[in-house]
A and B are shown apart, each in its own frame.
Chain A
Amino acid sequence: MDYLLSDEQKMIKELAHKIAEEKIRPVAAKYDQSEEYPWDVIKVIADAGLFGLFIPEEYGGMSVGVLNLCIATEELSRACGGIAVCYAASALGTFPIVLFGNDEQKKKYLPDLASGKKVAAFAITEPEAGSDASATKTTAKKEGDYYILNGLKHFITNGGDAETYTVVAMTDKTRGARGASAFIVEKGTPGFTFGKKEEKFGIRASSTRELIFTDCKIPAKNLLSKEGMGFIVTMKTFDMSRPGVAAQALGIAQGALELAVRYAKERQQFGKSISSFQGIQWMLADMATEVEAARGLVYSTARMVDAGIKDVSRESAMAKMFASDVAMKVTVDALQIFGGYGYMRDYPIEKYVRDAKITQIYEGTNQVQRNIIALQLIKEMARSK
């Protein structure tokens, strides 16, 4: 399908495709096995200028929007969902500063994030505050010109490898969700350490660690927006970044589909290529249609965000939920087409199934996405009465 991309967007697609094919695909299995952070690939992506896609020009970026970020993420994910998420998670950690940072904060942090010299991370999840972010226990207590952070964040993508963190902590526990605030915390700040690195089912090239704050003293000027804005910062950030997760899922699905089509053509059984069997053809046709439908939803949502439409919660949730469900189904079907070979690590397809699964879980489980969509529907209905 032709999405009428601009010349600039076609260029981003071409460049990300080149990086994916030449620099990511050859090392995807290696990083999946070793679980090392793919610094060499991150440097290639940085040199290509892709880290600046969503950062305003005056702070060293290209300021070309969420659709461009989605296009890049999709292409990178075609080759490896794990390496792509190192890139996308940095965008997630950077968005709060782009959206809510003051000029001083933007000047200080964005240029290095735009050039890819530094990688960012976003930290809200805690052991007891996953989908229910209002249960956040990490605290930030103001003392003079500083905030003192105490608590534990876990499952933080890019944790330990990122230099710049956006951390959500409670400044006023009595106010519930309205008592949360967002802060920029730099790696190396005394009292800020890292816990264990998680061993994961998929996206194993990316790092996932605990962040531990023990009387961690940060300058008060690192507060993003105002006290009490922590969950607004989070929700607005997710509205921007969810199309990116959706694009990651889309790329994984597209990559698996391509591998399945190629394998079906090559694989001979009963004296002919298995792609000549209608059973396989129909599977491929369904997979391709679902991937295209997901792409339509993801790109349309990203275009809405770029057009400055304020409330995109519903569409963002739909795109993330649908694209990730498609990724899960398409990767499982692709593995089925590979048959017994597909179950073996020697073939690349089982990794796609493992990488796809997380997209149904993180940045809000798909159940939470459905809650968001349903809530919007009911609200709209009430309003129209």
Chain B
Amino acid sequence: MNIIVCIKQVPETTEVRINPETNTLIREGVKSIINPFDMYAIEEAVRLKEKFGGKITVISMGPPQADAALREAISMGIDEGILVCDRAFAGSDTWATSYTLSQAIKKIGDFDLILCGKQASDGDTAQVGPGISAHLNIPQVTYVKKIEEVKENIMRVERMMEEGFEIIETPLPALLTVVKEINEPRLPSLKGMMRAKSAKIALWTQKELNLDPQKLGLCGSPTQVVKIFTPTPRAGGQKLSGEIPEIATALVDLLKDEVH
């Protein structure tokens, strides 16, 4: 089974700071890590490989320093890494990003499965995974919490819902986005780290991919960020106490006042 894992390098923080003038992330002074949700995708890919054999390729679109994220994935047991990196890709929204990644995946060629984390911890859009499947015209299952069974060209998975889960069968190749319930990512091994250090990461630029410039970067991004702001915290409510009949009466009075 040949698997492609898409990962993103994100700032290691839950409180992302935004530059209010440029509406972009402030990356200075923040350590970069693999998007935590993508770690589950990496782990699941390695587990599938341990079971069924095959090759895993990890791919990331990002700045040159995303090389470190690809190497970390290799240290966990991924075979090869590809960095999709070019000034021409800068400023991509989820549409342009998923387009660019889908074209890079086409260039990789033969694959049975694409795995992505359910969303990135910085942008939180959860759109790039589904976007890639749309561009490649293959089936997608989002929020997968368990791969139940893999048969010849078919896979049965459990998809997490707000209450309970769905069981879905999908033909392969397909794209899955995974949630943290699916597994517990392993730590790298020393041998893996040594392999990762000397691994050759392929660098694919616009030159290698030769894509329509109109579909790339800012140019190819229909999303316009008009304003980014922190929502004002909600003011505390009013708490009524006492016996239930008293509370009910007080509540009705308050609602009446509100109407008037």
Contacts and interface: CB of A to CB of B under 8 A. Distances in A.
A293 interface: no
B187 A48 contact: yes
A360 to B, nearest CB: 31
Interface residues of B, number: 9
B123 interface: no
B186 A15 contact: no
B197 A15 contact: no
B187 A50 contact: no
Interface string B179-219: 00000001111110110010000000000000000000000
Contacts of B197: 7, 11
Most B-side CB within 10 Å, residue of A49, A52, A62: A49
B194 A48 contact: no
A79 to B, nearest CB: 14
A318 interface: no
Interface stretch (A17-25, A28-36, A90-98): A17-25
Nearest to B190: A49
Interface string A1-22: 0000001100110110011001
A200 to B, nearest CB: 28
A11 B193 contact: yes
B194 A47 contact: no
A359 to B, nearest CB: 26
A11 B189 CA distance: 10
B187 A11 contact: no
A44 interface: yes
Contacts, number: 34
A16 to B, nearest CB: 9
Q: Tell me whether chain A's interface is mostly helix, strand or loop, or mixed.
A: helix
A47 B193 contact: no
A47 B191 contact: no
B190 A23 contact: no
Contacts of B187: 15, 18-19, 22-23, 44, 47-48
Contacts of A18: 187-188
Q: Tell me whether chain B's interface is mostly helix, strand or loop, or mixed.
A: helix
A8 B194 contact: yes
A23 to B, nearest CB: 7
Contacts of A44: 187
Contacts of A22: 187
B180 to A, nearest CB: 15
B43 to A, nearest CB: 13
Contacts of B186: 47
A61 to B, nearest CB: 11
Nearest to A72: B190
Contacts of A14: 193
Contacts of A47: 186-187, 189
A83 to B, nearest CB: 15
A110 to B, nearest CB: 17
Contacts of A52: 190
B78 to A, nearest CB: 16
B63 to A, nearest CB: 23
B185 to A, nearest CB: 10
A202 B191 CA distance: 33
A68 to B, nearest CB: 9
Nearest to A44: B187
Contacts of B194: 8, 11
A8 B188 CA distance: 14
Contacts of A7: 197
Contacts of B190: 11-12, 15, 48-50, 52-53, 62
A11 B72 CA distance: 12
A12 B191 CA distance: 10
Contact of B191 (A19, A23, A49): A49
A7 B187 CA distance: 19
Nearest to A52: B190
A100 B187 CA distance: 34
A47 B191 CA distance: 10
* Nearest 7 Cβ contacts at the A-B interface: A49-B190, A49-B189, A11-B193, A48-B189, A49-B191, A18-B187, A48-B187
Given A7-B197, A15-B190, A49-B189, 9 more contacts: A11-B193, A15-B187, A15-B193, A18-B187, A23-B187, A47-B187, A47-B189, A48-B188, A50-B190
Interface of B: 186-191, 193-194, 197
22 contacts: A7-B197, A11-B193, A11-B194, A11-B197, A12-B190, A15-B187, A15-B188, A15-B193, A18-B187, A18-B188, A19-B187, A22-B187, A44-B187, A47-B187, A48-B188, A48-B189, A48-B190, A49-B189, A49-B190, A50-B190, A52-B190, A53-B190
